[in-house]
Homo-oligomer: A and B are copies of this chain.
Amino acid sequence: MKRLIARLENVGEVITDPVRLRTYECDGLTYHRATPGVVVLPESAEQIAAIVRLCNEYGTPFVARGSGTGLSGGALPRSDGVLIVTSRMRRVLEIDLDNRRAVVEPGVTNLAITEAVREQGFYYAPDPSSQQICSIGGNVAENSGGAHCLKYGFTVNHILACEIVTPDGDIVMLDRMDAGYDLLGAFIGSEGTLGIATKITVRLSRTPESVITVLAAYRDIAEGGRAVSAIIAAGIVPAAIEMMDALAIEAAEAAVACRYPENAGAVLIVELDGPAPEVDLQFAQLREICADAFELRVAADAAERAAIWKGRKSAFAAVGRISPAYIVQDGVVPRTSLPQVLAGIDRLSAEHGIRVANVFHAGDGNLHPLVLFDDAEPGAGERAETVSGAILDLCIEHGGSITGEHGVGVDKARYMPKMFSDTDLDTMQLVRCAFDPKGLANPGKVFPTPRLCGEVPGVRKGPHPLVEAGKAEQF
């Protein structure tokens, strides 16, 4: 490692001071920690390529990190590895409004893209709650979502091209042009295991002409759920449909005094956007559908809209006010299975004596149960872990997935075999090993068993049989 560090110092700024290294020991999932062997702060794709090539030369694993806001430990460093931090790469390189695209470096924050084009009437659509600080490179790695993904889709739907450094240090362009393989889709959400994005071309969207934000309060989650189904069945596609249960509301109230209607068993936040006549029409339909809400608030202006969103956006942090510790879970189920899955979570909660606050993107069935526990109470952490894991089992049982938008990272790798067959996982490994035969790119993430590529069935172990047999002309 010493010799590697000396050579890294020729490439860019390097951090080796143990106190400074500690800053990088975890991402947003603080439960997993590891002090990186060394941190490098590159300023260009060429520097990242040089770092990766050095890692290859020394057989040293590397992990890329943006702003470190991820919630699945995808950017957890390796104590025997190099942490490549992209925070120095924050330039907006090109804005092309005619073709509605911008080219940015990976360290640019999600919100900074919107800020660069807002005055011209454009924005970047995916909006994770952490959008003020999370980096676009991290969004690409995790295929991040957000409240407005119901209508506008995930990161993958808004990235048009990426320049990447491959795990062996080549600089390659991946784009959506309809010729050859669309490797961009496989790269987005690959959590750093297939390379590091160094230039990202994002799609810019038009700022909608009209936005209407509604808060509907219900007696219980079931009533709220019925409203969600009715909205979707009516053919309305709101920009967002968010739901919070009583416990989540209590937490938000304690933290940010959001003044949601009292005694609500559930609140629904519905945002409509688009051309004014379309939004007005949808709003009329929505009013009818939500007629049975015991209170319906409509934001009169941007300040009132912000007030409605404040409770929702602070929900994760807010549970800290009502519980000493908690686990943020992330699962997704077909929207039609939401009622059964929520009932199942209730049962788990009662059974294990563990409170669960539910916050979710109701429109697309993406649940964020907050599993609360007291870390001073012996065994409580384990019980919370049990409930949290059982919630994922519920999601899988109902045809859903172990992650909606936070990624697999280090945290959920162990659940992958519950969702995928061995053959499915081996097929993914084929691709990982094709990109990264030495297993140096963010090893230990996504896949359940850190396997050598030589152990993956189907990964070729010798020279091509036909090369040896001299049958090359057959092809």
Interface residues of A (CB under 8 A from B): 59, 61, 80, 98-99, 143, 145, 154, 156, 166, 168, 170-174, 177-186, 188-190, 194, 206, 235, 274-275, 277-278, 281, 332, 334-336, 400-405, 407-408, 412, 416, 419-421, 423-428, 430-435, 437-439, 443-444, 446, 450, 452-455, 458-467, 471-472, 474-475
Which listed residue, B166, B182, B465, touches A156 by the CB 8 Å rule? B182
Contact (Cβ within 8 A) B466 A170: no
Contact (Cβ within 8 A) B424 A172: yes
**Can you show 6 pairs from A to B with CB atoms below 8 A apart?**
A154-B178, A178-B403, A180-B420, A183-B186, A444-B475, A452-B467
Q: With a 10 A CB-CB cut-off, give which of A184, A432, A463 has the most chain B CB atoms.
A: A463
Q: How far is the CB of A125 from chain B (nearest CB, A)?
A: 14
Q: Which residues of B contact A407 (CB under 8 A)?
A: 178-179
Interface class of chain A by DSSP: loop
A334-B99, A434-B434 given; A416·B180 CB < 8 A: yes
Q: Which residues of B contact A432 (CB under 8 A)?
A: 181
Contact (Cβ within 8 A) B185 A186: yes
Q: How far is the CA of A145 from the CA of B392 in the complex (A)?
A: 37
Q: How far is the CA of A337 from the CA of B463 in the complex (A)?
A: 47
Q: How far is the CA of A405 from the CA of B176 in the complex (A)?
A: 12
Q: How far is the CB of A231 from chain B (nearest CB, A)?
A: 14
Closest to A446 in B: B180
Q: Which residues of B contact A461 (CB under 8 A)?
A: 462-463
Q: How far is the CB of A392 from chain B (nearest CB, A)?
A: 10
Closest to A434 in B: B434
Closest to A468 in B: B454
Q: How far is the CA of A328 from the CA of B124 in the complex (A)?
A: 37
Q: How far is the CA of A190 from the CA of B471 in the complex (A)?
A: 25
Q: Which residues of B contact A462 (CB under 8 A)?
A: 461-463
Q: How far is the CB of A439 from chain B (nearest CB, A)?
A: 5
Q: How far is the CA of A171 from the CA of B278 in the complex (A)?
A: 45
A434-B459, A454-B464 given; A166·B427 CB < 8 A: yes
Q: Which residues of B contact A179 (CB under 8 A)?
A: 401-403, 407-408, 412, 416, 419-420
Contact (Cβ within 8 A) B452 A475: yes
Q: How far is the CA of A98 from the CA of B339 in the complex (A)?
A: 14
A183-B428, A431-B431, A434-B430 given; A177·B401 CB < 8 A: yes
